[in-house]
Amino acid sequence: MRRGTVAIVGRPNVGKSSIFNRLAGEKLAITDDASGITRDRLYSNCEWLDQEFSLIDTGGIELKDVPFMEEIKAQAQLAIDEADVIVLVTDGRVGITNGDQDVVNILHRSKKPVIVAANKIDDVKFMDNIYEFYNLGVEDVYPVSALHGVGIGDLLDKIIELLPEKKIKHYDDTVEFAIIGQPNVGKSSLTNAILGTERVIVSDVAGTTRDAIDSKFTRDGKNYVVIDTAGIRKQGKIYENAEKYSVLRAIKAVERSSIVLVVLDGTKDIEEQDKRIAGYAAEYNKGVIIVVNKWDAVEKDEKSMKEYMEKIRSHFVFLSYAPIVFVSALKNQRIHTLFEQIVKVHENYTRRVSTSVLNDILLDASIMNQAPIFNGDRIKLYYGSQVEVCPPTFVIFVNDPSHMHFSYQRYLENRLREAFELSGTPLKLILRKKDE
């Protein structure tokens, strides 16, 4: 269950970034190295007690060339605009400062719940310091030490309690896809190319969000909604000049779609920011298609396409399942190929496979390639079944999940991908211990 967005605000140096890392948990460290996803510290997808929420560190938006107070105001405003719950971080040893008071004054203009995390309470002897923070006019003050990881669980419990149960609005029988990518890669042009020949039934600012424009259309008897993140600019908001803010908008669109088109500018090299943006599509377990745009403007020979594909594969290791399509939005070239992939990836994303075939594959896989001994024993697969779609999710009952080596899990995933048509979709394997 997805539960909306939490924003962290506060003066510089109170420990926002440290708390962000604690709340985001170990997941950050793991995904960083293993999958090659580049992270900025602005945003994370968090999980606590089976509840998921998005976390924003407003300290990460880094406005350039604005006075300190302006920056703080912008951060508080960002939190008000984007979050369902706001965590105001203060320095628990210093007590209330004018800066804290200024931030809280802005926050109180909204009806959003505010929790104070009094940080740097590394020792119980500082515990009494927290009471003074009730003077900020908030109901909840939590002592934490980001340094030692103390108090984080209680803070997370409260966050979950305050978060609304969010239903993301979905259209029935409709393939929803988002178009994301850096500024100027051609997202708007691609949206126009896609909509150009189609009849747009409605094109409006969706009721659920102010961050993207939803356009509904039909093509070959199928209904689609394209969520265009480039179409809207929040006029006059100071944080608009923050580059990272466009990432935030992209993520909101990713959350709401089932398929994500990650657009790259084929005339340019792949940049860190491309990887970062693509990383979110992977993190949210969406169907993904990598679209190389502006292919008309590339000086090509017979090797160019292959070379670009290899470059993509080496940079986007975490999206090895995503098909790659080369298009020109401007010249309207190969848009039909893109649609073939959208249809296919959507089928795969919602695919159900038969339990008996699944178990044949698992049996074959374990016979052909014996699992390595790991943590004292070999993993033994008993049986599996598919429990979910979007993306396809398989539960496999085993002797003991702790014996599963990462490489063997990947081997099993590959076998499933060979056996079933699953291009473009992530798949999840959940291991369960079978009770004897």
**Of 290, 313, 309, nearest in space to 179 by CA:** 290
Min dist CB 196 to ligand GDP, Å, is: 13
Q: Locate 266 and state its tokens.
A: 């084929």
Q: Residue 92 Cβ, how far from ligand GDP at the closest point, in Å?
A: 8
Q: Is 143 in the site for ligand GDP (CB under 6 A)?
A: no
Query: Which residue type sits at 396?
Result: I
Residue with tokens 């398929």: 259
Biggest CA-to-CA distance, the chain: 71
CB closer to ligand GDP, 195 vs 379: 195
In this complex, which beta carbon is closest to ligand GDP, that of residue 104 or of residue 431? 104
Q: Is 16 in the site for ligand GDP (CB under 6 A)?
A: yes
Task: With residue 325 as reference, give the H or E element that holds it.
Answer: strand 324-326
Which residue, among 66, 86, 90, has the nearest Cα to 76 in the 3D structure? 86
Shortest gap between Cβ of 40 and ligand GDP (angstroms)?
13
| Strand ranges inside 113-188, DSSP E | 114-119, 140-143, 174-180
Residues within window 350-389 making contact with ligand GDP, judged by CB under 6 A: none
Window contacting ligand GDP (CB under 6 A); options: 194-202, 275-283, 289-297, 405-413: 289-297
Residue 80 found at the interface with ligand GDP (CB under 6 A): no
13 is an interface residue for ligand GDP by CB under 6 A: yes
Report the residue number, 93 or 210, with the smaller CB distance to ligand GDP. Answer: 93
Percent helix, percent strand, percent coil in the chain, to nearest 5: 40, 25, 35
Exposed/middle/buried for residue 374 (C-beta within 10 Å: 0-12, 13-18, 19+): middle
Please tell me whether residue 187 binds ligand GDP under the rule CB under 6 A. yes
CA distances from 106 to 80, 86, 94, 159, 234 (A): 9, 12, 21, 20, 19
> Min. distance of Cβ 296 from ligand GDP in angstroms?
5
Long-range Cβ pairs for the range 45-51 (8 Å, 24+): 45/283, 45/284, 46/6, 48/156, 48/157, 48/159, 48/160, 49/156, 49/157, 49/160, 50/1, 51/1, 51/3, 51/160, 51/163
Does 185 bind ligand GDP (CB under 6 A)? Our answer is: yes
Of 14, 42, 195, 353, the one binding ligand GDP by CB under 6 A = 14
Query: Exposure string (b/e) for 132-167, b if CB count within 10 Å is 16 or more?
Result: ebeebebebbbbbbbeeebbbeebbebbbebbeebe
Q: Minimal distance in Å, beta carbon 54 to ligand GDP?
A: 18
CB of 22 to ligand GDP, least distance (A): 9
Stretch that binds ligand GDP, among 110-118, 236-244, 323-331, 373-381 (CB under 6 A): 323-331
Query: Residue 209, Cα to own-chain centre: how many angstroms?
Result: 17
Per-residue x/- marks for ligand GDP, 89-128, CB under 6 A? Answer: ------------------------------xx-x------
Asked if 330 interacts with ligand GDP (CB under 6 A), we say: yes
Contact region with ligand GDP (CB under 6 A), list: 72-80, 109-117, 219-227, 290-298: 290-298
Among 328, 341, 348, 425, binds ligand GDP (CB under 6 A): 328
Rounded least distance, CB 30 to ligand GDP, Å: 20
Closest CA to 99 of 28, 22, 174, 16: 16
Stretch 30-69 residues interacting with ligand GDP (CB under 6 A): 59
CB of 145 to ligand GDP, least distance (A): 4
Closest distance of CB 233 from ligand GDP, Å: 10
Interacting residues toward ligand GDP by CB under 6 A: 10, 12-18, 59, 119-120, 122, 145-147, 181, 183-189, 230, 293-294, 296-297, 328-330
